[in-house]
Amino acid sequence: MQFKHKGLIIILSSPSGTGKSSLAKELLKIDNNLRLSISVTTRKPRLGEVDGINYYFKTDLEFKTLVKQNKFLEYAKIYNDYYGTPKEYVKMLLKQGLDVLFDIDWQGVRSIKKNTNNVVTIFVLPPSLEILEQRLRNRATDNEETIKLRMQSAQHEISYANEYDYVVINDDFGQTLKKIHEIIVAERAKNFSYHAH
């Protein structure tokens, strides 16, 4: 009898400035079975971002065509841009028994849970809203208006945290990384199938 791990969809969500992208990056380094889901987006590439590695960059028209062709597992409009998860790419990774890490918001979580099973959802909280605001200011990439918007958006997003399987507070990066990785390992252990030869 052979045990075979079935691929998991692991979703990390958090308000902007909570360290989710850095956590995702480190998780990929320490776990060989994890792959990052690459989103399709209509936003302009930021400095250093590469098409096909960080995102698949598309025009509004190209994106809407993909929506019509039902090519997305989920998609949402965030601020003024569209983001979507390509269905085929994720299916291919799961089939290989790999786990796919998603960095999406609560809207995406809802639609993925509707269309897929084997989903584990983790919400990363800042230690407090004051600390979150401080982190956003320290990044020095946003103006006052954007910071206000992000703080309003953060409060809104946090109100959905109770819909997640796990909630982790990021007050110490190393500890948070360890906690999230432990969750993934435990969920993996519950999720396998066996094939009798």
pLDDT confidence tier of residue 162, bands split at 50, 70 and 90 = very high
Binding positions are 14-21
Instruction: Tell whether the model's pLDDT for residue 141 goes beyond 80.
Output: no
Q: What is the pTM of this model?
A: 0.85
3-state secondary structure of 110: helix
Picking from 104, 96, 92, 91, the residue whose alpha carbon sits closest to that of residue 39 is 104
Give the pLDDT score at 197.
52
Q: What percent of the chain has pLDDT over 90?
A: 66
Sign of CA dihedral 149, 152, 156, 158: positive
Give the pLDDT score at 176.
97
Instruction: Tell whether the model's pLDDT for residue 107 goes beyond 80.
Output: yes
The β-bridge relationship of strands 56-57 and 40-41 is: parallel
Q: What is the crossing angle of helices 129-139 and 144-158, to 10°?
A: 140
Instruction: Tell whether the model's pLDDT for residue 170 goes beyond 80.
Output: yes
Give the pLDDT score at 195.
55
Binding positions for ATP are 14-21
Give the pLDDT score at 4.
67
Q: What are phi and psi of 120, to 5 degrees?
A: -120, 125
Q: Is 176 in contact with 19 (CB distance < 8 Å)?
A: yes
Query: Using one digit for the tens of pLDDT, what is the confidence trace for 3-58?
Result: 667 899 999 999 988 888 899 999 999 999 999 999 999 999 988 899 988 899 99
Contacts of 39 (CB under 8 A, 6+ apart): 55, 56, 83, 84, 85, 86, 103, 104
Instruction: Tell whether the model's pLDDT for residue 79 goes beyond 90.
Output: no
Out of 11-15, 94-98, 116-120, 136-140, least confident range? 136-140
Q: If one looks up domain 2-195 in CATH, what number appears?
A: 3.40.50.300
- The whole-chain average pLDDT of the chain stands at 90
Contacts of 154 (CB under 8 A, 6+ apart): 15, 16, 17, 126, 129, 132
- Domain residue spans of the chain: 2-195
pLDDT confidence tier of residue 96, bands split at 50, 70 and 90 = very high
pLDDT confidence tier of residue 87, bands split at 50, 70 and 90 = very high
Query: Using one digit for the tens of pLDDT, what is the confidence trace for 114-134?
Result: 888 899 999 999 999 999 898
Give the pLDDT score at 150.
87
